[in-house]
């Protein structure tokens, strides 16, 4: 199965770094790659919990300014409090509550970001919903409302966020977008059909947007990619014992990649490069360029 081929990968990805020692390990990044994130502006959705929270705080630790989005303001505040407890300078963490299902809300969020900066360097799409437990066999028994809400969040919401952010992202010489997908996007596990479909669609959204932006902005350093974060204990996955900080190293490796890096590729948090549909694995290590 091509997905699990180990033909190309980025080795030495740190997955068990304790966040409180971030100054020592910099989540596995070299000094120069860590420096590349400093002073950059990132927008992270789903930043109030789970992977989004860890990614937002790691970016802030590296000296980036981070706009934190999610629907619940109290969760965004908890993220900032966790950053303070980790000794991260959170003065550059800015809460921008938003419901990504609403284009109006996203336009308002972008206006709020523009009060602070005219451009964004990166967008991390982490906001998503899990499969609801409404029906054991959702593809034949789930309500239309449930299907619509999942797809509106996991697919349309991701697309609307990219669309709203594009004027700010395309303002500079280059930009990064990262979609958090799932192995569900390659799977057909019974009971998870709508979620599987949503993640498969996110894969296609990521690669299609990468191709479109590559053509639309040929002079810019565009790197839009899809990352499979794997299992971790978050709000949507209470069954795992793994820390969501395990994803941070690979995320930072992708977001700090110098010009000429991957655009329209698939990666796993452990450093594996993945294939999806007609897209083959990115052929080079992500760490050969400093
Ligand atoms: N954890 C895992 O084992 C695992 C495995 C594979 C893939 N993933 C993927 O990793 C990503 C992050 O998930 P997670 O595990 O960190 O789960 P999580 O803790 O449940 O995070 C999901 C976040 O999305 C936000 N969100 C949901 N609907 C939203 C909306 N309409 N507008 C704005 N924000 C919304 C939630 O905040 P509010 O409710 O406050 O809006 C929440 O902070 C997802 O794409 C997920 O599919 C996770």
CATH code reported for the domain at 2-274: 3.40.50.720
Question: In a 10 Å sphere around its CB, with 0-12 CB exposed, 13-18 middle and 19+ buried, how is residue 72 labelled?
Answer: exposed
Tell me how far the alpha carbon of residue 236 lies from the centroid of ligand 1, in angstroms: 7
CA of 46 to the centre of ligand 1 (A): 5
Domain ranges of the chain: 2-274
pTM above 0.85, yes or no: yes
d(CA 141, CA 151): 16
Mutate to test the pocket of ligand 1, among 108, 184, 234, 251 (most ligand atoms within 8 A of CB): 234
* Spatial CB neighbours of 149, under 8 Å, sequence gap ≥ 6: 101, 129
Question: Ligand 1 centre from 32 Cα, in Å?
Answer: 30
Token pair of 110 as six digits? 């972008």
If we measure between CA atoms, which residue out of 18, 72, 20, 83 comes closest to residue 46?
72
Phi, psi of 30 (to 5 degrees): -70, 165
d(CA 151, CA 282): 28
What whole-number distance in Å separates Cα of residue 161 and Cα of residue 45? 9
How distant, in Å, are the alpha carbons of 31, 79, 141 from that of 234?
29, 13, 27
What pLDDT was estimated at residue 12? Answer: 86
Give the pocket of ligand 1 (CB within 6 Å).
45-46, 48-52, 70-72, 75, 98-101, 126-129, 153, 157, 180, 182, 229, 231-232, 234-237, 240, 244
- The C-alpha atoms of residue 96 and residue 110 are separated, in whole angstroms, by 9
pLDDT at 1: 42
Per-residue pLDDT of the chain (290 residues; tens, 9 = 90+): 445 444 689 998 999 999 999 999 999 999 999 999 999 999 999 999 999 999 999 999 999 999 999 999 999 999 999 999 999 999 999 999 999 999 999 999 999 999 999 999 999 999 999 999 999 999 999 999 999 999 999 999 999 999 999 999 999 999 999 999 999 999 999 999 999 999 999 999 999 999 999 999 999 999 999 999 999 999 999 999 999 999 999 999 999 999 999 999 999 999 999 999 999 999 999 998 77
Q: Give me 62's structure tokens.
A: 């590296």
The pLDDT value recorded for residue 71 is: 98
Nearest CA to ligand 1 atom 23: 46
Q: What are phi and psi of 202, to 5 degrees?
A: -65, -40
Say how many Å lie between the CA of residue 126 and the centre of ligand 1: 6
Cα angle 204, 29, 269; round to 5:
35
């Amino acid at each position: 199965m091509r997905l699990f081929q180990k033909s190309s990968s980025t080795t030495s990805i740190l997955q068990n770094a304790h966040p409180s020692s971030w100054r020592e390990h910099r989540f596995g990044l070299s000094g120069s790659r860590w420096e590349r994130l400093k002073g950059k502006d990132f927008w992270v959705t789903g930043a109030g919990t789970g992977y989004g929270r860890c990614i937002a705080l790691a970016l802030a630790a590296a000296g980036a300014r981070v706009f934190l989005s999610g629907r619940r303001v109290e969760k965004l505040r908890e993220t900032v409090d966790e950053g303070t407890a980790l000794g991260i300078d959170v003065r550059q963490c800015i809460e921008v509550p938003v419901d990504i299902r609403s284009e109006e809300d996203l336009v308002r969020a972008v206006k709020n970001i523009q009060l602070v900066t005219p451009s964004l360097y990166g967008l991390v799409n982490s906001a998503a919903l899990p499969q609801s437990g409404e029906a054991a066999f959702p593809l034949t028994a789930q309500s239309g409302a449930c299907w619509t809400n999942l797809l509106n969040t996991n697919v349309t919401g991701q697309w609307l966020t990219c669309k709203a952010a594009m004027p700010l992202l395309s303002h500079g010489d280059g930009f990064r977008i990262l979609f958090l997908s799932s192995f569900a996007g390659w799977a057909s596990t019974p009971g998870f059909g709508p979620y599987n479909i949503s993640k498969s669609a996110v894969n296609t959204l990521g690669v299609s947007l990468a191709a479109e932006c590559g053509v639309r902005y040929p002079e810019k350093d565009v790197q839009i990619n899809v990352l499979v974060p794997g299992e971790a204990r978050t709000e949507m996955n209470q069954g795992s014992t793994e820390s969501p900080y395990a994803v941070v190293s690979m995320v930072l490796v992708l977001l700090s990649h110098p010009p000429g890096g991957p655009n329209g590729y698939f990666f796993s948090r452990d450093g594996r490069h993945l294939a999806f549909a007609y897209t083959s694995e990115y052929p080079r290590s992500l760490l050969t360029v400093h």
